[in-house]
Amino acid sequence: MATYKESGVDIDAGEELVRRIKQPVRSTFNKNVLTDIGMFGAFYRADFKGIKKPVLVSSVDGVGTKLKIAIQLNRHDTVGQDLVNHCVNDILVCGAKPLYFLDYYATGKLSPDVAEHVIRGFVKACSENECALIGGETAEMPGMYGAEDYDIAGTIVGIVDEKKILNGKKVKAGDVLIGLPSTGLHTNGFSLARRVLLDKFDLEKPIAELNSTLADALLAVHRSYRQTIYPLLQHAATAKYIHALSHITGGGIEGNTYRVIPKGLTLAIDWQAWQRPAIFHFIQQAGNVPEEDIRRTLNLGVGLMVIADKRGADTVLHALKQKHESPFVLGEVTKP
């Protein structure tokens, strides 16, 4: 006789996880969430008062091999935050604010303890971004994943008034490139980082160059820029000067910013205009990584790019500093 549990799927563990996370997840709900967790679908009331032409903006993403670091260290409280913040930033650069988030958690053998830490990370970031965590899926798949392995993915849905959509069409030659600092690698480039670092260094040993352990440097939470940027997009004095935004993820500064640059224009970046955080120098030196490759792989300390009208660049810079940011000008949009 064979049972489902003997096949590697523990229904009791899944029910225990739901019991643990139900109340934290509910804490992210607002008046527009119409269902509790556990339904076949999640209901969200489409209430868009004050928006003349509401446009829904959605995005889906994962955390990549940063998860391998979290699993190796048995530290699972930050990767959920990484995922939510990454997704929030992806729709933020379109001009949208988040409404709700859904997660997918897949593993070889469900550990309620590990999954709870990950999902509490979702909850923390959703609360900070004023976003409801309204649904998700937990899949136990022995044979697909190792017993301790797991993967996560998330889908976010947000809203923007059609007239406030940022799509790069306003970008023109002379626009100023303003960078906002990252907290580290965020969620990209970990395959490179793992290859050049893990065989040479102890993740939990303090490293003088980093002023921290390698573990802390690599697992630094991918930050959200919502609290800084969204108010600027709603304020006429700054919004009129912000022509585009780019979230610097896989592909680096140029690869992502070219996504919002019209054809016929190019980027003139001063690569010496800011000081790269130590973790990037550490990776480059440890692996003898060519400069061209590291520029295409890592954010190099720039997590988000603001492309501003030259006439209002100082206004935007001042507003960013008022938000306790440390912005820096690193180039401009030009004609070839």
Q: For residue 244, give the 3-state DSSP assignment.
A: strand
258 secondary structure, DSSP code: G
* CA-to-CA separations, 187 to 128, 219, 236, 240, in angstroms, rounded: 19, 9, 32, 31
- CA dist list (Å): 116 to 13, 59, 179: 11, 24, 35
For residue 213, pLDDT beyond 90 = yes
What confidence tier does 1 reach under pLDDT thresholds 50, 70, 90? low
- Give the residue-averaged pLDDT of 178-199: 97
The rounded percent of the chain whose pLDDT value lies above 90 is 93
Q: Counting every residue, how long is the chain? A: 336
Per-residue pLDDT reduced to its tens digit, 288-330: 999 999 999 999 999 999 999 999 999 999 999 999 999 999 9
Please, which pLDDT band fits residue 278 given cuts at 50, 70 and 90?
very high
Taking residues 97-102, what's their average pLDDT?
Answer: 98
Question: According to the model, what pLDDT value does residue 14 have?
Answer: 87
Q: Which band of pLDDT confidence, cut at 50, 70 and 90, is reported for residue 9?
A: confident
Mean pLDDT for the chain overall? 96
Average pLDDT over residues 167-175: 97
Q: Vertex 314, ends 310 and 316: CA angle to 5°?
A: 90
Residues 6+ apart with CB under 8 A from 72: 203
Residue 232 · residue 216 · CB < 8 Å: no
**pLDDT band with cut points at 50, 70 and 90 for residue 7:** low
Position 10 scores a pLDDT of 79
Q: Determine the average pLDDT of the residues in 93-100.
A: 98
What's the token pair of residue 159? Answer: 């809203």
**Weakest-pLDDT range from 4-8, 90-94, 209-213, 315-319:** 4-8
Angle at Cα 330 formed by Cα 324 and Cα 332, nearest 5°? Answer: 120
pLDDT tens-digit map of 114-128: 999 999 999 999 999
| Closest-CA residue to 181 (of 65, 60, 324, 332) | 324
> Can you give the pLDDT at residue 38?
81
pLDDT over 80 (residue 3): no
To which H or E segment does residue 315 belong? helix 313-322
Does 257 or 18 have the greater pLDDT score? 257
Helix (H), strand (E) at residue 269: strand 266-269
Structural domains in the chain plus CATH codes = 11-164 (3.30.1330.10), 176-334 (3.90.650.10)
Q: Among residues 307, 284, 306, 285, which one has the least CA distance to residue 296?
A: 284
Q: Which residues pair with 61 in a beta bridge?
A: 154
Give dist(CA 106, CA 151) in Å, integer. Answer: 5
Across the range 76-96, mean pLDDT stands at: 98
